[in-house]
Chain A
Amino acid sequence: MRHLLAAVSVAVLAATSVSAAPPKLTQAEHDATHAMFEHVINTPTVIGRHNVPAMAQYVADQFKAAGFPAEDIHVMPYHTGSATQGEDDTAALIVRWRAAGTPKAKPILLLGHMDVVEAKPEDWSVDPFKMIEKDGYYYGRGTTDMKDGIVGITQAMIDLKRAGFKPTRDIVVLFTGDEETNGIGAKKGATDWLDLLGHPEFGLNADGGGGGFNEDGSPAGYTLQTAEKTYADYTFTVHNRGGHSSKPRKDNAIYSLAHALDKLESYRFQPMMNETTRAYFEGRAKTEKGPLGDAMRRWLANPNDGEAADIIEASESEVGLTRTRCVATRLFGGHANNALPQLATARINCRIFPGVDPNAVKAELERLVNDPEVIVTREDDNVASLASPLRPDVTAAYTRAVQALHPGMPIFPEMSTGASDARPFRVAGIPIYGANGGWAVVPIDNRAHGRDERLPVQSLYDNVVHWEMMLQDLAGK
């Protein structure tokens, strides 16, 4: 998943630092970045299409060609599947760049995922799996979520190796193959594959962080992601005796479901705040003018001011930051055009505020629907997610890299409203920071999972430089 920041204008994590000029990519590095990006975008790594192993092999080949030893490159085939998210034979890629000499510390983990969300050509204005460059953008499924991050990390490591960089601690890459669906790769990473990963001290996730510019070109800010909401899916199910459609019954599974969905549409959960979101809103409130800024200031002063929280939540830039959110994402129902439905179901996707038990959300949904015909079930056994503590070294490295490329860019701690591969690592005690360097124009480029997903062309190349600087800073001293 990928979340882009909204319009903001004040640094809260770090004052503007004096940065050296960022390195520049050579023409060869630029061309190699473009070629790799095009290749991976054109590989439809959607669940069920069996393309992830080929992409993993392709990326592995790039590392090999750059001189990384074959014994430290592992394509890890695995099966992913669940009743609701589909099945596939997928793969992860693990690359370990060993420290020159005795490592100074435990490894740094670099996280990303190679799979993408489904994209239907009939929903898009262009072919989602044929990268094109248009109006300063790269278009295609995965351009922002998150093949830009895969290419950013891979090309940065290749460039650094060719330039003779010698890490002082191991840098370990884990690119998974099912983040968008079952998250089994990340679970294996945090358990079965932990020895292969060298028990990292912390991780940097390219599927988080990043920043944005406003449409007028002013900097909107970058985020360092330290917490994320818990992802949980629920299903509303309605059964009915059905019958012949020429004789409609009074009760109908589809209508009962539609009625429940109408209730869900207007429902809002209780507003909540934690340290990360408080810091975020404090920063935002310093300069945000108008009703939105007023609402933030009111809510910070009085966390029980639900009306202020509702105003913030209703803002396009702040959706999901003030509370648990649940939304209907899929519908199924019926079995024939000319038969009354015997079954109708809706998938409800929830993003639960950190610390809240997904079972409590289930109970709340049941109370909301308040209809014995509509059965609410959970689709996973996810547990409440945890926040990672802010590390000064990561904060400093991220700030330096961002501000070298974008002088004056404010940086915020962030609670992600999405779910990512970070969760099982956080649960296993390995802090994870969403620290990608890509950027976009907000909110018009917020298209992850949607139609006509796109990435500003320059963002792709900036991100390679970003990761070079991050690695030099965190693994070069």
Chain B
Amino acid sequence: MNRAIAFVLATALSTGAIAATDPRTVPTQLPPAWQAKARAVFKQAIEIPSVHHRGQVPKVAKLLADQFRAAGIPDADIHFMPYEGLPGDQTEALIVRWRSPHPTKKPILVLGHMDVVEAKRSDWKYDPFEFREEGGYFLGRGTSDMKNGDVATTMAAVKLMSEGFKPDRDIIFLYSGDEETEGKGATLGSTKWRNLTDAEFGLNADGGCASYDQNFKPLGCGISMAEKTFQTYFMTTHNPGGHSSRPRPDNAIYDLADALEKVRTYRFQPMQNDVTRAYFEERAKQEGNSQLGQEIRAWLANPNDGAAADAIEANPLEVGITRTRCVATMLSGGHADNALPQSATATVNCRIFPGVEPPVVQAELQKLVGPNVEVKPDPNYIGQPTPASPLRPDVVAAVTNAVHKVIGKDMDVYPEMSTGASDGSFFRAQGIPVYDIDGSWGISPLDERAHGLDERIPVRAFYDDVVYWTMIFKSLAS
């Protein structure tokens, strides 16, 4: 799932409330007939519990494919791609090519995923796999992460086809089936299936870009166009152990604790790239003359001002944006209460600044903790460094235009770097720039429920997202 940085900004920007209109009460721009069509598909999609290992993803793929087929996409351009996600999870990706009669540019790739995070009936107020409309919201697992984006992109294309719109470049839709678990669909999509997916750039519909605070003040729409590389390392200490009644001078747990003390205080070198610089320029404007605003301006003026970067990084709103970060997330050690530990292991999860190679971080960690601590990457997931996608004026202009027309003129658009990982990372790693631009929105933090309980999306945000995507396709493919 793709987080929205705007949610994080909420606490900073929610001061100085102005009487504003509740965005949920503004009428949608999607005509009633298309509301009905989009709603019907959304309902069916939500009611398919496409959680890993349940074998339901192919049903979502068929549902979306049926819409394209009905709109006139030939079967030859609709590809069902079965694959295994987690061990034993038989899932599927859907690839659809909407051909241009006279392509003048390389294709655009639209990304989404059809799987959802587990949701338990006992935890939820309602059945998470029963579609509900209530109080201005659609409720159900996947309503915000991200069957809304699947349906909005599909129905936008269907609507444009029905209006006779002919793109001047192919638009390829890739909906994967295991983004929430292994991300193998995106891996395959960016490599093995490249003959079907090759594109000039990608647009990811995973996660709405925009949000409002609880006073309905717009918090902006962040276009994620870079992301840190996810890499987990295991730090392990070894010891001969022995009987705990006779403690040895050396001890695997104490050695590991010493290493963790070093990891706790260590800070990597501050770094900037085009995306984070643009992001901080926007943040400096928002912050004005606050302490943080001054620190941001100092760092922008002098990227070697490490003290300014450290102050920014220490702010809860900006954690992880100024550099690589590594943090201890799990611990295990010892084998019996009454025995000295023979080994102890800490899981250290790193989010590596774009462009930095994971082995470089590994070497830096190794140097930090010393030769007596083994530092190894998690063999189950070797992170692929992802270059920041270039700031494309056409994408930024298309998003800005669509956001202002569909959501409102007061919703600012700015680039950002995601500290998390999404399907886009696999394509960036393989040379296809990806921009996370979905046009849906919510009230922060009330609607911040992806992966959580009682997930929901404002009804208007869902309908308007269909309009938003039609504008994006028109802007970038004509």
Question: Is A bound to B?
Answer: yes
A319 touches B343 (CB 8 A): no
* Proximity string of chain B (322-359) to chain A, C-beta cutoff 8 Å, 1 when within and 0 when not: 00010111111111111111111011010100000000
Are A231 and B342 in contact, CB atoms less than 8 angstroms apart?
no
Selecting from B49-57, B244-252, B426-434, the interface stretch reads B244-252
The verdict on A361 contacting chain B, using a C-beta distance below 8 Å, is: no
Chain A residue with the shortest CB-CB distance to B314:
A250
Residues of A within 8 A of B246 (CB): 3, 319-320, 417, 446
B334 touches A330 (CB 8 A): yes
**Residues of chain A contacted by B230 (CB below 8 angstroms):** 338
Complex formed: what's the CA distance from A256 to B71 in Å?
59
Q: Are A320 and B351 in contact (CB under 8 A)?
A: no
Give min CB distance, B423 to chain A, whole Å. 16
Considering only CB atoms, which chain B residue lies closest to A245 in the complex?
B349
Q: Is the interface of A mostly helix, strand, loop or mixed?
A: loop
> B327, A418: Cβ atoms under 8 Å?
no
Instruction: Kindly provide the distance from the CB of A305 to the nearest chain B CB, expressed in whole angstroms.
Output: 22
The answer to whether A262 touches B244, judged by C-beta atoms less than 8 angstroms apart, is: no
Question: Do the beta carbons of A259 and B331 come within 8 Å of each other?
Answer: no
Q: Is the CB of A329 within 8 A of B336?
A: yes
Task: Give min CB distance, B413 to chain A, whole Å.
Answer: 22
Name the distance in Å between B21's Cβ and chain A's nearest Cβ. Answer: 31
- Closest B residue to A333 using CB positions: B331
- Which residue from chain B places its CB closest to the CB of A262 in the assembled complex? B257
Give residues 241-291 of A contacting B (CB, 8 Å): 244-250, 252, 254-255, 257-259, 261-262, 264-265
In the complex, the chain A residue whose C-beta lies closest to that of B228 is A246
Docked CA distance A330–B331 (Å): 10
Cβ-neighbour of A255 out of B241, B264, B333, B344 (below 8 A): B264
Size range of the interface on A?
Answer: 35 or more
> Is B425 interfacial (CB 8 A cutoff)?
no
Q: Are B336 and A449 neighbours in the complex by a CB distance under 8 Å? A: yes
For the complex, give the distance between the alpha carbons of A346 and B329 in Å. Answer: 15
**CA separation between A210 and B378, bound complex, in Å?**
46
Interface membership of B319, Cβ < 8 A: yes
Closest Cβ of chain A to B8, distance in Å, is: 8
Within B303-323, which residues are at the interface with A (CB < 8 Å)?
314, 316, 319-320
Known: A248-B320, A265-B257, A451-B342. A418 touches B419 (CB 8 A): no
Whether a CB of chain A sits under 8 angstroms from the CB of B243 is: yes
Please measure, in the bound complex, the distance between the C-alpha atom of A229 and the C-alpha atom of B232, giving whole angstroms.
42
Known: A265-B251, A320-B247, A330-B334. A252 touches B340 (CB 8 A): no
Q: Are B331 and A248 in contact (CB under 8 A)?
A: no
The winner among B249, B258, B264, B316 for most chain A CB atoms within 10 A is: B264
A110-141 interface with B by 8 A CB criterion: 117-120, 123
- A455: CB under 8 A from chain B? no
Q: From residue B166, how far is it (CB to closest CB) to chain A in Å?
A: 41
Nearest residue (CB) in A for B242 is A450
Cross-chain contact B260 with A255 (CB below 8 angstroms): yes
In the bound complex, do residue B260 and residue A258 qualify as a contact, i.e. CB atoms below 8 Å apart? yes
Query: Which of A84, A246, A320 is B245 in contact with, Cβ under 8 Å?
Result: A320
Chain B CB count within 10 A is highest, among A229, A233, A379, A449, for A449
Residues 118 to 138 of chain B near chain A (Cβ within 8 Å): none
Does any Cβ of A come within 8 Å of B467's Cβ? Answer: no
Chain A residues lying within 8 Å of B242, measured Cβ to Cβ, are: 446-450
A126 to B325, CA, bound (A): 40
A254 and B420 contact, Cβ closer than 8 Å, known pairs A329-B339, A448-B243, A449-B336: no
Given A245-B329, A258-B264, the answer on whether A449 and B349 have CB atoms closer than 8 Å is no
Pick the contact of A334: B258, B329, B336 (CB < 8 A). B329
**B193 contacts the other chain (CB 8 A):** no
Contact A341 B331, beta carbon cutoff 8 Å: yes
Do A327 and B340 have beta carbons less than 8 Å apart? Answer: yes
A81 to B421, CA, bound (A): 43
Contacts of B325 in A (CB 8 A): 246, 248
Of the listed residues B248, B329, B340, B341, the one surrounded by the most CB atoms of chain A closer than 10 A to its CB is B329
* Docked-complex contact A117 and B347, CB < 8 angstroms: no
A252:B327 contact, CB within 8 angstroms? yes
Which residues in B have their C-beta under 8 angstroms from that of A351? 244-245
| A246 and B331 in contact, given A319-B247, A331-B253 (Cβ under 8 angstroms) | no
B309–chain A nearest beta-carbon distance, Å: 16
Residues of A within 8 A of B256 (CB): 258, 331
Cβ distance B312 to chain A, nearest Cβ, rounded Å:
14
**B240 part of interface (Cβ distance < 8 Å):** yes
**B320 partner residues in chain A, CB cutoff 8 A:** 246-248
> Are B331's CB and A349's CB within 8 A?
no
Contact of B332 among A2, A245, A247, A331 (CB under 8 A): A331
Considering the complex, give the chain A residue whose CB is closest to the CB of B234.
Answer: A337
- In the complex the two chains form, is B331's CB within 8 Å of A329's CB? no
Contacts of A450 in B (CB 8 A): 240-243, 339-340, 342
How far apart are the CA atoms of A247 and B326 in the complex, in Å? 10
Kindly state whether residue A339 has any CB partner on chain B within 8 Å.
yes
Q: A347 in the interface, Cβ–Cβ < 8 Å?
A: yes
In the assembled complex, the Cα of A242 lies from the Cα of B330 at a distance in Å of 12
CB neighbours (8 Å) of A231 from chain B are 338
CB neighbours of A250 from chain B (8 A) = 314
- Please report the C-alpha to C-alpha distance between residue A325 and residue B243 in the assembled complex, in whole angstroms: 12
Is the C-beta of A335 less than 8 angstroms from some C-beta in chain B?
yes
Chain B residues with Cβ below 8 Å from A347 are 334, 337
Contacts of B319 in A (CB 8 A): 247-249
A402 within 8 Å of B (CB atoms): no
Q: A338-B329, A341-B329, A449-B242 are in contact. Are A329 and B338 (CB under 8 A)?
A: yes
A residues in contact with B245, CB < 8 Å: 1, 3, 229, 320, 325, 351, 416-419
Nearest 3 Cβ contacts at the A-B interface: A333-B331, A334-B330, A330-B334
Known: A117-B335, A449-B340; 18 extra A-B contacts, CB below 8 A, are: A244-B419, A247-B316, A248-B325, A252-B264, A254-B260, A258-B256, A258-B264, A262-B258, A327-B251, A328-B341, A329-B334, A329-B338, A331-B333, A336-B329, A337-B232, A416-B245, A449-B241, A450-B241
Query: Can you name 29 A-B residue pairings with CB atoms under 8 Å?
Result: A118-B335, A123-B241, A123-B342, A231-B338, A247-B319, A247-B320, A252-B264, A254-B260, A254-B328, A255-B264, A257-B257, A258-B260, A259-B257, A261-B253, A319-B248, A327-B251, A328-B341, A329-B337, A331-B256, A334-B330, A337-B330, A337-B347, A338-B230, A338-B329, A340-B329, A349-B244, A419-B245, A450-B242, A451-B241
